[in-house]
Chain A
Amino acid sequence: MKLTLSWLRDHLETTATLTEITDALTDLGLEVEEVVDPATKLSAFTIARIEHAEPHPDADRLRVLRVATNEGEKQVVCGAPNAQAGLVGVLARPGDYVPGIDTTLGIGKIRGVESHGMMASERELELSDEHNGIIELPSGQVGQRFVDWLAENAPEKIDPMIHIKITPNRPDALGVRGIARDLAARGLGTLKPLTVEPVAGGFDSPVRVTIAPDAAERAPYFAGRLIRGVTNGPSPDWLQQRLKAIGLRPISALVDITNFFTYDLNRPLHVFDAGKVQGDLVVRSAAEGESLHALDDRTYALRPGDLVIADANGPESLAGIMGGEASGVTEGTTDVFLESAYWQPIGIAATGRALKINSDARYRFERGVDPAFTRPGLELATRLILDLCGGEASHVVEAGAVPDTGRAYRLDPERTQSLVGMDIPEAEQRATLEALGFRLEGDMAHVPSWRPDVQGEADLVEEIARIASLSRLKGQPLPRPRAGVPLPVLTPLQRRESAARRMAAALGYNECVTYSFIDQPSAALFGGGSDAVRIENPISSEMTHLRPDLLPGLLAAAARNQARGFADLALFEVGPVFTGGEPGEQAVQLSGLLVGASAARDPFGSRRAVDLYDAKADAEAILNAIGAPARAQIDRRVDGWWHPGRAGNIALGPNRLATYGEVHPRILKAMDVKGPAVAFTVHIANVPLPKVKTPTRPALTISDLQAVERDFAFVVDAKVEALAIANAAQGADKALIESVRVFDQFTGEKAEAQMGAGKKSVAITARLQPRDRTLTDKDIEAVAAKIVEKVGKATGGTLRT
């Protein structure tokens, strides 16, 4: 919403300065986005009089002037044809910034003659496009500031423009008068009275109006009248200047008048060229297949339900949004039908959105104009048309009735203070509401018809607090909910998410935050991309589906970094993935991705390609950090985006805690990542919480007896898993065998040459911890034999000899 200071003063009697007004507006909730004050850029210039003018010795078209200024007489070189002795004009001095030529003046030498400034034209001062000569003022004292002269003699030329961001709840502030009312309530002046004198009609309107039953709900009230014999030329200067100042293009008197009321009183109007209207007007729902060529020169296909104002020819106007080209007024218009109607906001919003038409009228009607002002608006506009265009007005034709929006809410001054936490006396509260147009009856506040947003007691509180100014608010401590040390507030899952994140970073991964939506092909690679997770209105083709997994985002990040020349990467993300499109169909994952080598090249040969055991170690470290049980199973039933032979799950039965391994080569290719690439995903929520929560640890039992380690090497089939061997060995004597660890394996051609085709050897060490007596050689041999037996039974392995 834009307005000018002088326009505001039409409604507000005030002595407040521009700054006081704009500060108050922002504080009131009418946030000032921009102020354009032409005076600011003119403040340096002063009035000067040319005392003497003579031709420049070396240039025919230039003159050398002696100019009287408040700093004495100055020599100025000037090329203007009207630079004559006696002219009173505007001087820009060396050091002044001249906006129209975007230059800061210096002392110049023009064809050998010094010039101490310049006499300015209107264009040079951005006052108009006039540049045929320098400014000639009819009055003014030498040395007087030019802006002061303008303020006195031509205030419209330095009328500051104020641009306000209006929140959707304040349709009343979409008219200058509504803004003035707020300022008056704040005490920045008084609201000038607005008198509406009905214009008596001289004849019956030949155009009559009805509202069809199917439109009655969305079109409660329509008022109009015909004005015949008008002359629709350009509007007068004052009106044009108003509209130009807020960025509107003057078109013709009739159109400018409707625009003026739209902004002045938030009263949108429409004018039909009555000569082009066939028969009577009817407000009705559009029929299937109808269209309208609107005033924006676009043709809109209408839907049943869109309200139109139609004549015998069909739709002539899209009700409350935009008129039609066919019945629009032109310079040749002599009879005009003036419409002032009230439209229900919801219908306007629906049609406007469906047809994608934005207009000042739609903007206002969908937020809510004052229904009670429909008829007064018509009268005021009639008066202005008669004044500016002449003609004769008909009687008013009406259809429907102004909807009753009367309602009242109880004002509870104590509740106001309790909510706001500010001392606002009851009298002030009542005065505020009355200044805003509320009518108080006892403790009931009747809402003015122009405030559709006020829908309850809380709205009264807001109005009172707003006018009182929230800048008066003083902070008051909010006591803690309980005395003493605050209780912990994170849920176990939140703590785990945080612990997992910190551990991943500690392991050397850089945390990424990637978008929750990805492109469909990538989503499909990871088991997603269905319509259930499709976004109806994506912002780009790269962001169409909710991600089923974190890896596509990390792989895309890896590809981008590789393109920038970073080959070795360790990236991770913690965040939601989506299994479906219903609320709650999401889970928190932590995924890590290792690409390239384990380290930079160094003198110790540390560098090697990352492999799945790196990913496994990191997954296990993170699981450990969030309290997963140390002993979990490993299975190979991994999803399709993992290498089928080089990936595994860490699981508790069917409950998958993590997956690790090589990313499927096809996925790497599709995502343009140069391998090797290994990854892991931890399903944080799947890790069971401890059944009993106690900080007490189980007692530590340490044996003083010496532990014994025994090594075994087994020859097994190449596809026998080491964990099967270790588990079998562990099971040989659960009391005595404290741990079993795999410490070597021998595979490949050399191994097969020694042990036979399809064979390998795996070496384990078993740590035996006696509890009650030192082990004898016999004891140890017995356990060893049992280990060999168990491993043999479980895996077919034999002791390597």
Chain B
Amino acid sequence: MTDTDTLRSTWLSRVADAADAPALEEVRLAALGKKGEISGLMKELGRMTPEERQTRGAALNRLRDEIDTALRARRSAMEDAALDARLKSEWLDVTLPGRPRPSGTIHPVSQVMDEVTAIFADMGFSVAEGPQVESDWYNFDALNIPPEHPARQEHDTFFMARAEGDTRPPHVLRTHTSPVQIRAMEAMGAPIRIICPGRVYRMDMDQTHTPMFHQVEGLAIGKGISMANLKWTLEEFCRAFFEVDQVELRFRASHFPFTEPSAEVDIRCDWSGGQLKIGQGESWLEILGSGMVHPRVLEAGGIDPAEWQGFAFGMGIDRIAMLKYGIPDLRAFFESDLRWLRHYGFAAGDVPSVSGGLSR
């Protein structure tokens, strides 16, 4: 047994025997520190012949590396053990609730308006808005509803109070978003494609009516735009909005003062099982009114009906929201019951888009 073998077994066993980190550090200093035994032996190499130095040096270097490796291994093992011990004591109840983060909701009316906007934007319709207090000219006359026309009475109009001495006809709370069409035509001329979403008001309050509700109207004026284009546009809209593969629409003749011809539009649906399925079944559901814009309405908007023609349509936003999302009661839309807002509301990040889809 050479002296290096002895040294090795001595130091390796001292490394192995070190009880804790300070003891291990003492061993390291005693062996490899500046004044350590191995370091002392290395210093003696200078006094040896080159031949001796070569063999002795190599042996000492190996020994030093071996002890160093053992020291590191031992230290690492000690650290692992210490960590294990610490981790054993570190236990938290991970089933406790996380720190509270508030979560808000978007109202179904806003969400559906965003959905409608996304679809029509893709078809080239921009969004027009207008005042909710309207002159009776914009709300009625310009839309071919003269003062004594019975259609005016059917609108259940809210009138603004008139100050004494003010002889103008009273302003109204707009009964539909159609006046926006007139204002948009005046401002933009033809060709034009707009949708007009917003609040409208009618003096009606019962199970299925509220004195305020929301409408979206569409207007497309161009060269040769026909009722067949209207039908296609509405078919595409309904297919996209209700997120079904196909829809079937039925046009029925009707009457609106501002369109001619006018049509009520029904959509094929199925109510079986108490749940509405669009695009199948044997039932028809009236969902909107539409028609070709009346020449007098075009004139009121400053557009020459001899040159331009087009369609208009209107539907209830609250209503299509109720149909799509199975919301039973219109009145609840405006009651702000927290339970309702949370249940029927939408997440802030659920922004509807044509590319990503409208609903989750």
Contact = CB atoms under 8 A, between A and B. Distances in A.
B212 interface: yes
A513 B251 contact: no
A602 B227 contact: no
B335 A560 contact: yes
Contacts of A457: 295
A654 interface: no
A31 B252 contact: yes
Interface stretch (A132-140, A475-483, A743-751): A475-483
Interface stretch (B21-29, B75-83, B253-261): B253-261
Interface in B326-358: 333-339, 341-342, 345, 347-349, 351
Interface string A466-496: 1001110111111011100011111100100
B226 A582 contact: no
Among the interface residues B96, B117, B131, B220, which one has the most CB atoms of the partner chain A within 10 A?
B131
B232 A478 contact: yes
A775 interface: no
A169 B230 CA distance: 23
A571 B340 CA distance: 13
A29 B255 contact: yes
Given A510-B105, A515-B211, A571 B336 contact: yes
A6 interface: no
A246 interface: no
B55 to A, nearest CB: 54
Given A466-B253, A475-B235, A481 B100 contact: no
Contacts of A516: 132, 173, 199, 201, 212
B231 A475 contact: yes
Contacts of B348: 502-503, 505-506
Contact of A570 (B102, B160, B227, B228): B102
Nearest to B257: A169
Contact of B229 (A477, A507, A532, A574): A477
Contacts of B103: 508
Contacts of B74: none
Interface in A436-473: 456-459, 461-462, 465-466, 469-471, 473
Given A420-B226, A475-B232, A606 B99 contact: yes
Contact of B135 (A487, A534, A536, A583): A583
Contact of B233 (A465, A478, A513): A478
Given A29-B252, A419-B227, A505-B106, A536 B161 contact: yes
Nearest to B234: A475
Interface residues of A, number: 104
Given A31-B252, A462-B260, A581 B121 contact: no
Contact of B97 (A459, A494, A585, A603): A603
B229 A583 contact: no
B338 A27 contact: no
Nearest to B103: A508
B127 interface: yes
B156 to A, nearest CB: 9
Contact of A498 (B114, B125, B138, B191): B114
Given A168-B255, A475-B232, A470 B161 contact: no
Q: DSSP class of B's interface residues: helix, strand, loop or mixed?
A: mixed
Nearest to B228: A421
Contacts of A557: 335-336
A366 B252 contact: no
Interface string B102-134: 111111011000100100111111110101111
B177 interface: no
A19 interface: no
Nearest to A504: B104
Nearest to A169: B255
Nearest to A345: B148
B341 A512 contact: yes
Among the interface residues B135, B148, B203, B230, which one has the most CB atoms of the partner chain A within 10 A?
B148
Nearest to A481: B124
Contacts of A28: 253
A557 B107 CA distance: 14
Interface of B: 96-97, 99-107, 109-110, 114, 117, 120-127, 129, 131-135, 138, 148-151, 153-154, 158-163, 170-171, 173, 191, 193, 199, 201, 203-205, 211-212, 220, 222, 224-233, 235, 250-255, 257, 260-264, 292, 294-296, 309, 333-339, 341-342, 345, 347-349, 351
Given A345-B148, A489-B124, 17 more contacts: A27-B252, A168-B255, A419-B227, A470-B227, A477-B229, A478-B225, A490-B121, A502-B348, A507-B104, A510-B105, A511-B107, A512-B107, A535-B173, A557-B336, A561-B338, A581-B161, A582-B171
7 contacts: A476-B228, A486-B122, A490-B117, A502-B348, A511-B110, A534-B160, A586-B133
Task: State the 7 A-B residue pairs at the shortest beta-carbon distance, nearest first.
Answer: A508-B102, A421-B228, A421-B226, A475-B232, A29-B253, A557-B336, A167-B255
